[in-house]
Amino acid sequence: MKFLQNIVEKLEPQFEKGGKFEKLWPLFDGFATFAFVPKHPTSKGAHIRDGVDLKRTMITVVIAMIPCLIFGIWNTGHQHFLAQGMYAGLGDGVLEKFFFGAWRVLPLVVVSYAVGLGVEFVFCIIKRHSIQEGFLVSGMLIPLCMPVDVPLWMVAVATIFAVVIGKEVFGGTGMNILNPALTARAFLFFAYPTKMSGNSVWIADSENLRANVDGFSGATALGDLASTVGIDKTSETATAVMSSFGNDGFYSMYNSFMGFIPGSIGETSALACLIGALILIGSGIGSWKIMFSAVVGGLTMAGIFNLAGANAFMDLNALHQLLIGGFMFGVVFMATDPVSAAHTETGKWIYGFFVGFFGIMIRVFNPAYPEGMMMSILFMNVMAPLIDHYVLQANIKKRQKRMVIQTA
C-alpha cells in the first residue's frame, strides 16, 4: 500500500494546475481519495469533515447492502431453478443457483456503475470539480431495486436519467431533492411498464419457463394480492390467493422474512435488510428514527386495513404486509437517504411515519402501483423540506414565547 501511495504522490504534480494532465484532475483525485485518506482538510462550507470523508461514509452504506446483494444473487438462481422443478430444496444446487444468479445480476451492477460513473466523470471534467461520491451508493441501489429480467440497455438509460435529471441538474450530490435510485426506477416504471411489472419479469427467463412448467406464474406476493382488490373476500378467487399466504404457503411469513420469494433482486429478504439496518445504525449513518417511525406508520395503516377487511389484501397480517415487496428495503436504504430525507429530529419522526403509512396505503388502494414504497418515498422526498420548515417555525415560536415569559 505504501508503494502505491508513493506512485500516486509522484504522479500528482502532473494532474495539478499547470500539469500535463490538468484536465484529468477529477479522475486522479477521485482515485487518490478513494484509495487513501484525503490530505486536504475542509476549509469552507457548512460541513466539516475529518479523515472519514464522504467516500468512506458511502462505502459503509455499500457494505450494508452486500447481504442484500449476495442473497439476491442466490435467490435469483433459486427462483429460476424452482420454476423448472429443479433443486427445489433450499440446500440443493447451491453453487448452481449462485453461479446462475451471479451471471444474471452482476452485469446489471457493472452497467449501473460503468454508465453512472462515466456520466459523473464527464460532469466533473466539464465543471472542473472533484468526483462526487453519491453514486457509490446509487450505483448499487439501482440494480438491487430492479427485476432480474430488465434489459441492460434499460438500466443504462435509467441510470443516465437518474444522474443527469435526478441529481446533476440540481447541482450534484447533496443538492438533489429526490432519491436518485428511485428516480431511475420510477423512470423505467412509467416509460417501460411491461418490463417493470406483471408476472413475467421477476424470475430469470420466465417467459420461456412459462411454456414448460404447468401452473407456473412467476408472480410476486404483491401481484397476487393486488388481484384481490375490488373482489369480495368470500369469493373463491380471493380465498385461493389468501390461502397461499398461510403458514405453509409459498408466500408464508417465514418465506417472506427470509426472502425465498420472487421480487426485485435485493428487496425480497427482510432479514438481509435488517442486517444492513444494524450496520447503518451502528455506524451512525442511517437514522434509526426514520426506520422505526416508518415501521410504525406501516403497521398503523395495515392495522386500519385489517379492521376494514374488504378483501384478502386488507386481511393480510399487518406484520406480513411489511415483509413483502420493497417495504423493508425502501425503509432501510432509501427513506434514510440523508440528502432527500427530513433533517430535523422531529421532522425525521414525521417523515418516516408517513413513508410507511402511505407505502401501505398506495399498494392496497391502487392495484396499478402494488409496490407503494416507490411512490411513497418519492412523495415524502418532496414533502421533506416542508416538514423541516414547519418544525423549525414551531421551534422558533416556542423560543419566542420563552423569551417573552423570561423578560416579563
Q: Give pLDDT tens digits for 41-66.
A: 544 444 444 444 566 778 899 999 99
pLDDT tens string 344-363: 999 999 999 999 999 999 99
> How many whole angstroms separate alpha carbon 332 and alpha carbon 278?
9
> How many whole angstroms separate alpha carbon 177 and alpha carbon 54?
19
pLDDT tens string 364-375: 988 777 788 999
Longest dimension (CA), the chain: 83
Residue 128's CB is within 10 A of a number of other CB atoms, namely 11
> How many whole angstroms separate alpha carbon 347 and alpha carbon 355?
12
Average pLDDT of the residues in 179-206:
89
Q: How far is CA 287 from the centre of its chain?
A: 15
How much of the chain is in helix, strand and coil states, percent to nearest 5? 65, 0, 35
3-state secondary structure of 368: coil
Residue boundaries of the structural domains of the chain: 20-37+54-211+252-273, 286-407
> How many whole angstroms separate alpha carbon 229 and alpha carbon 105?
33
- Buried b or exposed e, range 142-170, using 16+ CB within 10 angstroms: bbbbbbbbbeeebbbbbbbbbbebbbbee
Supply the Cα-derived Rg of the chain in whole angstroms. Answer: 23
pLDDT tens string 149-159: 999 999 999 99
> How many whole angstroms separate alpha carbon 215 and alpha carbon 232?
24
Eight-state DSSP code of residue 42: P
pTM: 0.85
> How many whole angstroms separate alpha carbon 391 and alpha carbon 70?
40
User: Residue 298 in contact with residue 357, Cβ under 8 Å?
Assistant: yes
